[in-house]
Structure formats: structure tokens, C-alpha cells
Structure 1
């Protein structure tokens, strides 16, 4: 019997080739008769590179190609070249996209690596959400230096909801309450310009919000927390801290979280220009 040599599968893609390699491994692991080598060829985005892959495959007596190429012209050329050289080839992406196109009546974007980009976007969002939870309400001042944005303001100025909303925009946000009895950590005053954003609010509106908050908690609305004297003292203190930092300020009075977040994003973009 003539030995064909060790079998080789070429995992070819116009992106990183991870899917093609996983499919090849999933199939190869079903066979215990011998080892199957898998060689990954990523970023095959031009005809010249496709020809190079075929030339490499021609040197072997026992090989096959599995491809996940999105670009139609490259995919078609690779399949034709493989067939012309009697190299077994499986095109995974083409038939799958044809089926999806039929059932959705939509045209594919034909953008290599889109799954990877979507995955990266998802994990960045999760990381930002975890960051917002970890560094909420000044729990750990070490988070200030790691944050893309730091929100400061008195209690009930929507710092936490804004942090979570911005986290879904993939921004790492820390927030810090400003309380007269507690000096802000030194890290706050060492942050680069544009990192800190102050949140202010009309005292009458804050008075009503705090009274409703106490009622919701089953507490007396006469507590110092909701007294106008206390509110004015806190706002004056917070205003002094914000002036010392020199940070931009946003009045959150009667504004939805989405509206304030849009303003924060505008300030960030302006700072990056």
C-alpha cells in the first residue's frame, strides 16, 4: 500500500481563521486512526495569496482545504483553483450565507471578521459594566485612575444610572459622591483634564427627590438627609470641589438619563478633537 503521508487540513479564511480551524478540529477529533495536522491561513483577502495556499497544498499528497471566506471573488477563485488541482475543498461560508440570505431576504455585508468584531464589542461592554459596578459610589478610589470618565456630585444626581448607561456605550465609568464630612481622595485631583464631570441639580428638585426616596425606604421624610439646609450645604460643598478640579458641569434637573448621557458623550468627543 502506498503511503499518502500525514493528512493535513488547510484552514483558510479572509479573517483570523478561527472558525475554519475549529470546524476542522471538530471533524478530525472524530477519527482515531491517526493524527491530522491543521494549518491555519488567515487573512486570505487577495487572489495572489489564494494561489499561494493552493501551491502549498499541491506539494502534499494527502490534504484538504476548509474555508470560511466571506469575499465572494476570493472564495470562488480558491474553490476553482482547488478543484482544478484535485484538492478536496469544503466551502463553509458560501452555502451558509446563501441560506441566510434566502430566509431573511437581505444581502450580506461581505465584511471579513465581523463575528470577531461583534464579540470584541460585547466583551468590552461586559468589562465596562463590571467596572461601573466595582467602582460605584466611591467604593474604591483606585478605580478613578483607571476610568474613562469619573462622575462626581451629591447623592441623588443620577450618578449610578449614568454610569451603567455609559457602560453600555463601552465606557469605563467610576462615580464618587461628594459629602461635606468626607474629603475626596487625592486621586480625584490628579486625573487628566476632561476625565471628571460634575453633576449639579436644582435644590428644590433635589429636596423633592430625597423626600420621595426616604418614603420609598419607609423612613421619615423629616430626616436631615432631605432637609433644605442640608441640601444647600452639600451643593455648596460640591460646587467648591468642582471649581477646584475645573471640570465641566451638567445640570441634571428634570433631565432623563439618556439626555444627560448624550451631553457627557458630547463633552468627551469634544475633548478628543
Structure 2
């Protein structure tokens, strides 16, 4: 009867990578009883000594590790060798190869991939938020948003929402139409979290006419008339003043420029907390 195999998974981060590797390797053998003991976030030499001491009392064990901190990796390797415990270093061969190819030194900072994953998922969450609460679809999102954009049609609300979402900012936007009351929730949002978007009426007239042509409609429609545009802009300006929110004129600005202004406003608001 085979003695139980005990595998020590040691990492200065979560240790999930090493555990998955050893599980995949073990699946290639009929090794019977096997126990995996994972030790994450190892950052002190004393922790390594305690694990090695525990391992010396096992009859059949091995160590698999992902350590990027050189001093800890050295101690673990030497201690395992001294006690004749088989130890497998997963990260070092790969890092060494990359170092030679890239002609650069590794950061030797644990948990970087996890930090990147967290940043990625925050971005995805912000993008999903922007899609869900675009164009006033669901007013419940207004109080959850980091920023709420308001403005009449063709003032770059959606492009700005998506651009800011890629900066991990949750944005909701509300179209302003004189005949359609804004949701009550907008008055419950702090004014500093609302950004009003306005534009030059002549520029907007050109944009709307082009939009109608793209849709195969007559550019003489009320949507693109100067009278209608001035009416909408006047209504929007009155509401923005009532809300007391900052207003940005987007008529001559690229989306990136407007987004940078919004992010600067957000930073100023944080500094005055």
C-alpha cells in the first residue's frame, strides 16, 4: 500500500497557479491518496521554516512553489535541499527565459497578475454599467453612478460614458428632451456628480442634419431645425442651472478632451471632501 503523498503548495501570492499545475500533473498518475496543503501570502522567512519543519515529519511529500521574492525563494530552495525534500520552482525558469528575451529585470513583486485581473474586472463592470444605464434606460442607476451625464441629443453622452468606463468610472447618462420630464432620481444625485453637456447650436445643426441623412430622412425634419435646437438648449441650460451642476461645452472638443475635464472635476471633488 502506497504512503499518502502530501504536496505543499507555497506562494507569496494566492498560490492558485501552483495548485492547478500540481493537480494537472497528479492526474497523470494513479498515485492513490494525495493531500494538497496550500500556504498563500508567504512573506516571512520564519513562515518558510515552519512549513519546512512540518514537511520533514511527512514520509512522502514534495513542495511546489511560486515565489518571486529572491531571498524567500533562496531560503526555500536551500532548506528543501538540506532536508532532501523534492521542491519544484514553477516561476523561476519562465522568468529567467523572459529576462533573457526581453533584456529586462523582473519586478519581483508578488500578486501582480491578480492586481491586473482586478483592474480588468473593474473595467468590465464599468462598461457593463455604462451600457445598462445608457440613455436614461433605468433611472435606478443614477444614484449608483460615479458620474451622471445630462444633455440634449448628439452632445456625446454615450461616447463619453464608454470612454470613461474604460477608465473604470461608472457613468449613467440621461437625455434631456423638453417634452419628457427627467427622472426624479436626478434630483437626489449630488450636483458635483452631475455633468451637464452643451454645444454650439450651429455645430449641432450640422451634426443632426448629417445624422438624418445617414438615416435616409429629410434634413428638414424638426429634429434638425435651428428653432428646435435652440428650444432644447434653452431647456437644458435651465435644468442644469437648477441642478447646480458643472457644464461643459463639447462643441469643439474631442471625446478625450471632454473626458479629461470630467476626470479633473472628479479629482477636485475628491480633494475637497
- TM-score in same-fold range (> 0.5): yes
Match of residue 150 from structure 1: 148
- DSSP 3-state at the match of 2:238: helix
CA distance in 1, matches of 2:56, 2:238: 75
Q: Could you say which residue in structure 1 is the equivalent of 2:232?
A: 234
CA displacement at 1:104 relative to structure 2: 1.2
CA distance in 1 between counterparts of 2:30 and 2:83 reads 28
Name the counterpart of 1:176: 174
For residue 259 of structure 1, report the CA deviation from its aligned partner: 0.5
Query: 1:91 aligned to 89, 92, 111, which one?
Result: 89
Deviation track 1:72-91 (CA, whole Å, cap 9, x = no partner) reads 11111111111111111000
Q: Which residue of 1 aligns with 2:100?
A: 102
Could you tell me how far apart the structure 2 residues matched to 1:63 and 1:193 are? Answer: 62
1:24 aligns with 22
SS in 1 for 2:142: helix
Cα distance in 2, alignment partners of residues 116 and 14 from structure 1: 12
Q: CA deviation at 1:33?
A: 3.3
Deviation at 1:16, TM superposition (A): 1.1
Match of 2:266 among 260, 265, 268: 268
Matched, 1:78 2:54: no
1:214-242 CA-partner distances (Å, limit 9, x unpaired): 11111111110111111111111111111
The corresponding residue for 2:201 is 203
1:20 and 1:108 map into 2 onto residues whose CA distance is 19
Alignment length (residue pairs): 271
Q: Distance in 2 between matches of 1:191 and 1:59?
A: 62
Deviation readout 1:8-40 (Å, 9 max, x if unpaired): 111111011111111111112222331311111
Q: Counterpart in 2 of 1:131?
A: 129
- Mapped to 1, the partners of 2:192 and 2:8 lie a distance apart of 50
**Which residue of structure 2 lines up, in the alignment, with residue 37 of structure 1?**
35
Aligned partners of 1:142 and 1:264: how far apart in 2? 22
Deviation at 1:253, TM superposition (A): 1.1
- Look up the match of 2:210: 212
TM-score by length of 1: 0.96
Gaps of 5+ in 1: none
The residue number in structure 2 matching 1:115 is 113
Q: What SS does structure 2 have at the residue aligned with 1:194?
A: helix
Q: Does 1:10 align with 2:3?
A: no
- Structure 2: how far apart are the matches of 1:248 and 1:140? 23
TM-score by length of 2: 0.96
Aligned to 1:222: 220
